[in-house]
Structure 1
Amino acid sequence: MSAIFPDLEGASIYITGGGSGIGAALTEGFLRQGARVAFVGRSDATAFCDEMEAQTGNRPHFMQCDITDMAALKATLEEASDRHGPVSTLVNNAANDQRHSLDEVDEAFWDWMIAINLKAYFFACQTVAPMMKAADGGSIINFSSISYMMGNAGYPIYTTANSGINGMTRSLARELGPDKIRVNALAPGWVLTQKQKDMWVTEEGLQAHLDRQCLKEPLEPEDIVGGVLFLASGISKAMTGQALVIDGGVVVTG
């Protein structure tokens, strides 16, 4: 099933990490809406772009970029704007949930993890805000995670960044609201991307997580797309400063 959001047709969309995992599903979802999609990633995504063009008739624009390089990140946002028009939706999706313990973290690893999982989000928001202001509004969607809500161990810098994204989202929603720029967070549950299956999923661990979910089916990347399209569309025009959770019912908010 797929809903159609007419105002996303022709919209200028920018996604970090849009060539794999959840990001790839988001890229496809926006392409099927007729949006003009630009995305960044560390690995070459030419084959993925070819596949998307063949499947949707709409080719995304890929820019190779390490988002820990803030100058390069800003340059890709400018390139996306030049190519597709001012960015109307920014999706800060790229993240790294590398496992680590408290005692093994040094300053270099801390700085690297924060750069990927929080710093890049902030400077992408900073760069895109003037574009959205000039275009009379826009939508920023910052990916977080339910990991910090659950108090998960095993990646404390990642959960620290997740929580920081939520605070940043609320403050920027207040700051940018007068310019009709909406800023929301989206917190997925455990989505079984190929990376998760290759690196972290075990039969016992997955079953324990499913036992906590209200809905007993594992989450796939496609399960996150609808919420992002909703937040990007003007149908959610009165929604800002919020955290939308899509996790099958592990955490309950309100």
Structure 2
Amino acid sequence: TLNSGGDLDTAFAKADHVVRQTYQVQRLAPAPMEPRGVVADYQPEDDLLTVWDSTQHPHHVREHLVHLLSRTYEGTRVVAPDVGGGFGEKGCLFSEEVLVPYLAVVLGRPIKWMENRQENMTAFHGRGHSMEVQAAVKSDGTILGIRVHIVADLGAYYLLSTPQVPVLTSHRLTGPYRTPAMSVEVQGVVTNKPPTGAYRGAGGPEAAFCMERTIDLIALDLDLDPAEVRRVNFISPEEFPHDTPTGITYDSG
């Protein structure tokens, strides 16, 4: 995926200095207080399937169950009780959330499945990005353009949010800073690790870490105050609404 805007070649040609750095945004396990769990009960006399699911998105789960199990909306009910923490992990649809209701219908009896902590730590991870950055700047710290190459470790399997996070990162990279030109290349790689997906901001923290650390390095290389570099590049109130080179419009700020 390539996300770009502005004249990046001109930005680098006019730059007084270029900052280069590679950042590693490590993988992590969300580790909610309560692991995932599903209970399903099927009442054949009413053709009613009721699913209690530790999920952040009960309506999405219901839609998928209707589609995957060839059921009606009226005969499918999903209840999300107190989920005990989710942090994005429970926003995905996992195979157990389909298998448990399926077995309840086929066997005609209530089915319960609870994930243990070891399973939780290996079923889903967040983040896992390597981000190579080049920033073209003027001698006063003004950003002219930024080039970023993201390599996203997607793991061995796809979940619903797996490919979305690195793309969201690419859109959010400019943060609150005026960036006339930017090019972000996103490369997803399949590895022998657990799948990744949305976790606590879904691309926002990754983008903020990359941009804020780059601002610090600009200040360090040019012997400037980091606060002053931020002030120089902040989008001013009169510039709103502001269009970023990565395709986002800030209506206010």
TM tier, shorter chain?
under 0.3
| Structure with the larger strand share | 2
TM-score normalised by structure 1 residue count: 0.22
Higher helix share: 1
Which structure has the higher relative contact order (CA within 8 Å, separation 6+)? 2
Task: Specify the structure having the higher radius of gyration (Cα).
Answer: 2
